[in-house]
Structure 1
Amino acid sequence: MWPAPGVPRPIFSAGRPAAGRMTAATDRGAAAGAARLGASARDILLDAARDLMIETGSSDVSLHAIARRAGVTAPLVKYYFGGKEGLLTALVEADTSRSLTQLEGLLAMDVSATQKLTLHVTGIIRNYARHPYLNGLLNRLVRDSGNEASERIKANFVEPLINAQRRIIEQGVAAGEFRAIDPDHAYFLIVGACQYLFATRVPFGDLMNGAPSQDTFVRTFTAEAVDFILRGLRP
């Protein structure tokens, strides 16, 4: 578990590589590169991964491509993260920590379920707008890893998100604001509506004259998504 809500715990120490992953020569080379880049090296690598995923519209980017974009060698990625999976998991934790903190604050607010759901849907879309690769990356890591990193992502992001939305839906049903609906069905309907735009905006962008990537389109989409979801939940 993380040391505090919303604060990601790094998988690999920033000072040493995972044991047995590199030879002494590559270890020395990576250490030299780390010393040259300083404390910002991890952020440079994470930013490089973000940029590539946004440009390609896919979370399937190679370790060497990330290293090239960052202007370093692949062994430096391994030095900081233990490998590609470690880097991608650190990226998920960095990109979701703020959202989790905000989600906890949302649940504690003394407002109606309708207001909470409006803020919740808006927050999901804003997060995907900042990180359009996030849903695909989460699904990939949870599906493909099957290890400690996968379990931590499930426990520290996916489950809190599911449980938080369930509580909002149940509050709304109990107050008569929402019709009776299976909270699990509502989860997939809401998250699906929020993320599809960003999962497909690169391949569909040309068909819509680039609209899915424009800030104005995202803002109007957010308003329409909130209205659409709330209308579907009304008694």
Structure 2
Amino acid sequence: MAADTRDKLIAAARECLLADGHANLSTRRVAERAGVPLSQIHYHFGGRQGLILALLAQENAQLLQRQQTMYGADVPLHLRYGQACDFLRDDLASGYVRMLQEMIAAGWSDKAIGAEVTRLLRSWFELLEQVVIEAADELGDLGPFTPRTVATLIGLGFMGGESMLLLEDSWSDDVFAALGSIGDALELRHRDA
């Protein structure tokens, strides 16, 4: 029963966050939407911040697992990277990207949120770094770049693209062309290897 209440609250928080944004998120509205007493938010999460962080952690864990599975496939890196670009479209449509960007912005003024969002995002960058390390033969010489710097540049490219896509849809062609060009470069490296 407690797990069911917790799940209802997280689902309701997701809906409210996407509808109202982080700044306007009301725990009363979340509780009403979940059909549970307001006190359950404090019981399960300690308050608004704990609820939001639990929501982000749950979403992040599911999507990170998806990425780990995809990048663990035995196919050329450029095809896996192309799938990551397709996943970005899915994550935009699902609302995850907006939720993440809302929490990044909230983390600028709330150190606890900032620390948790940083911890969650680090796991994505660490995954990318591991992918670069494992694809060393396919990538060849990285020149002055380390696997970590390559992972950071790619991760930041996605995050910056996400920000612009949320700002206005007119960025879509530019963002996906820029991200796609990395896939094109990876394909050339693959053919040359």
- Please report the TM-score for the alignment, with normalisation by the length of structure 1: 0.59
Quick one: which of 166, 171, 187 aligns to 2:155? 187
Q: Report sequence identity in percent.
A: 17
Quick one: which of 71, 90, 107 aligns to 2:71? 107
Deviations 1:42-84 (A, max 9, x none): 222222211122223x222122232233344422211221101
What does residue 86 of structure 2 align with?
A: 122
Amino acid at match of 1:187: G
What does residue 124 of structure 2 align with?
A: 161
Quick one: which of 162, 183, 190 aligns to 1:230? 183
State the 1:111 CA deviation: 2.2
Is the 2:17–2:99 Cα contact (8 Å) retained in structure 1? Answer: no
CA distance in 2, matches of 1:105, 1:39: 27
Which one has the largest radius of gyration?
Answer: 1
- Please report the TM-score for the alignment, with normalisation by the length of structure 2: 0.70
The residue correspondences of 1:87-102 to structure 2 (distance < 5 A) are: 87-102=51-66
State the 1:164 CA deviation: 1.7
User: Partner of 1:52: helix, strand, or coil?
Assistant: helix
* 2:99 corresponds to 1:134: yes
CA distance in 1, matches of 2:162, 2:130: 19
Quick one: which of 28, 33, 45 aligns to 1:69? 33
Cα-Cα RMSD: 3.6
Closer, same or farther: CA 90–176 of 1 in aligned 2, 3 Å: closer
State the 1:162 CA deviation: 0.5
Amino acid at match of 1:192: G
Structure 1 or 2: larger helix share? 2
CA distance in 1, matches of 2:90, 2:174: 11
User: Partner of 2:75: helix, strand, or coil?
Assistant: coil
Query: For structure 2, which runs of at least 5 residues remain unmatched after alignment?
Result: none
CA distance in 2, matches of 1:63, 1:154: 24
State the 1:172 CA deviation: 5.7
State the 1:187 CA deviation: 1.9
What does residue 59 of structure 1 align with?
A: 22
User: Partner of 2:22: helix, strand, or coil?
Assistant: coil
Query: For structure 1, which runs of at least 5 residues remain unmatched after alignment?
Result: 1-34, 213-217
Amino acid at match of 2:129: R
Amino acid at match of 2:90: R
What does residue 47 of structure 2 align with?
A: 83
Is the 1:92–1:134 Cα contact (8 Å) retained in structure 2? Answer: yes
Deviations 1:106-159 (A, max 9, x none): 333222221221122322332332124322244146545544x7655544x311
